[in-house]
A and B are shown apart, each in its own frame.
Chain A
Amino acid sequence: QKEVEQDPGPLSVPEGAIVSLNCTYSNSAFQYFMWYRQYSRKGPELLMYTYSSGNKEDGRFTAQVDKSSKYISLFIRDSQPSDSATYLCAMSANYGGSQGNLIFGKGTKLSVKP
């Protein structure tokens, strides 16, 4: 079993739709959970960061963590064509200088059609 599982998609939705992206993981030591957005031929850009379980909202984006189920989600409301990108979940057991050893999912490719 891989440490982090993420459906690679591709996922295609119409503009304005609510998008749900998910990852599951197996390592119960993970406490820090992140979502990155990666446009083609660019580096990953941090979208959301969550510690432990719970929800976090930032504009059209909501991140949810359910540690009991080892399941994390990213919701995008009112999706826009500019949201078309690959979304990567990442997680780690530590934060701080050594937190750079992140475990990434393979990424889900999202396309939002006008």
Chain B
Amino acid sequence: NAGVMQNPRHLVRRRGQEARLRCSPVKGHSHVYWYRQLPEEGLKFMVYLQKENIIDESGMPKERFSAEFPKEGPSILRIQQVVRGDSAAYFCASSGQNEKLFFGSGTQLSVL
């Protein structure tokens, strides 16, 4: 019974490149959430998706960030033209309807 799977665990990008972070939710879960954890900061909500729909993106930066959860395949968090300030741990969580969140182990993004 696999939990939330995130890959890669570590991602290094140079400024201006694109970062793509993947998240496979717990089998049967249709709700996916992305959080960001900056150094010395708490987890911050970014976006909540259901299959093929963005439900709440109130925590997403207005530019360069996008997320999707297609009908087939993992959820993707995409960051275009990365900057040093994007360096952080990005966590994905999933849940069933009205159920608690299960978090993945995160992707540590480092921007050089």
User: A: which residues have CB within 8 A of B?
Assistant: 4, 6, 8, 36, 41-46, 49, 88, 90, 95-107
Taken together as a complex, chains A and B put the C-alpha atoms of A80 and B105 apart, in Å, by: 23
How many A-B pairs with Cβ below 8 Å?
Answer: 67
The answer to whether A97 touches B43, judged by C-beta atoms less than 8 angstroms apart, is no
Residues of B within 8 A of A (CB-CB), count: 28
Q: Are B101 and A46 in contact (CB under 8 A)?
A: yes
Give chain A nearest CB distance to B77 CB in angstroms: 14
A102 to chain B: closest residue by CB: B45
8 Å CB contact of A88 from B31, B43, B56, B102:
B43
Given A41-B105, A43-B91, A106-B40: A97 and B100 within 8 A (CB)?
Answer: no
Complex contact A43–B105 (CB within 8 A)? yes
Q: B98 is contacted by which of A36, A90, A96, A104 (Cβ under 8 Å)?
A: A96
Residues of B within 8 A of A (CB): 4, 31, 33, 40-45, 48, 50, 55-56, 58-59, 91, 93, 95, 97-98, 100-106, 108
A96-B98, A97-B31, A106-B40 in contact; A45/B45 too (CB < 8 A)? Answer: no
With beta carbons under 8 angstroms apart, the residue of A101, A105, A106 that contacts B59 is: A101
| Residue picked from A4, A8, A96, most chain B C-beta under 10 Å | A96
Q: Which A residues touch B56, using CB under 8 A? A: 98, 101
Give the distance in Å from the alpha carbon of A90 to the alpha carbon of B103 in the complex. 14
What is the CA–CA distance of A106 and B44 in the complex, to the nearest angstrom? Answer: 10
Report 8 cross-chain contacts, Cβ distance below 8 Å, ordered by A residue. Answer: A42-B105, A43-B106, A44-B103, A97-B98, A100-B33, A104-B42, A104-B43, A107-B42
